[in-house]
Amino acid sequence: MKQLVFELMRESDVPDWVDLYTDAEVQHNINHRGGVVPRDEIEREVLGRLRTGWCDERMFRLRTGSGTTVGYVWIRHIDHIARSCEVLSMHHRNFRMRAGLLAVIATYEYLYDTLNMRSVVHEVYLGNRMMLAPDRLEALVQAVSPDHCNSLGTRRTCCWWVERKPDFEAAQRARAEQFARVRERVAGPL
């Protein structure tokens, strides 16, 4: 399996980050700031986070082994004592389907193993078209606020849920077992 490289974002990545952040599909899933805030102001905000916001948030670049940028991960509201955080991922168009799952797994591995987090809080607005099918979202949600986000011309419901490190590890084990079963069915017992 090809490995993705998770590395801290650099100031030279900021223009590409803003391009991706203001992409219509990405904006649809988060908010519509890209439609009301000028590009240079967004760039200044990101630079500010990189230079001084590192206590509560970290920004990363995800790339292939050959150096192509897959996307960016923004870890927010890091609580170093409760060992929890929120995560916002965005991937370039070419990597949204094929490498999307790999990118998500690489992100969680980094959060739990390298950053030593124990819980990740997820926040998704209804109408999100990228990450989860509606039935999957419904199964995960633990709390719902009816008017949390005012964007796309409407008040959007916000769904929250928490994934704990043991939940992630159990899902990884299930994935590995499923992969082993498929491999055995295709190749036969070794």
Site of interaction with another protein (CB under 8 A): 31, 79, 81-84, 118-119, 121, 141-151, 155, 160-162, 164
Closest to another protein by CB, 55 vs 186, is 55
Q: How far is the CB of 78 from another protein (least distance, A)?
A: 12
Q: 11-16 contacts: CB < 8 A, separation 24 or more?
A: 11/47, 11/50, 13/61, 13/69, 13/72, 14/43, 14/46, 14/47, 14/50, 15/43, 16/69
Q: How far is the CB of 100 from another protein (least distance, A)?
A: 24
Q: How far is the CB of 122 from another protein (least distance, A)?
A: 10
CA distance 62 to 134: 27
Closest to another protein by CB, 28 vs 83, is 83
Q: How far is the CB of 160 from another protein (least distance, A)?
A: 6
Closest to another protein by CB, 94 vs 150, is 150
CA distance 152 to 82: 34
Q: How far is the CB of 179 from another protein (least distance, A)?
A: 27
Q: How far is CA 95 from the centre of its chain?
A: 13
Closest to another protein by CB, 100 vs 127, is 127
Query: CB of 109 within 8 A of CB of 132?
Result: no
Closest to another protein by CB, 67 vs 146, is 146
CA distance 71 to 21: 10
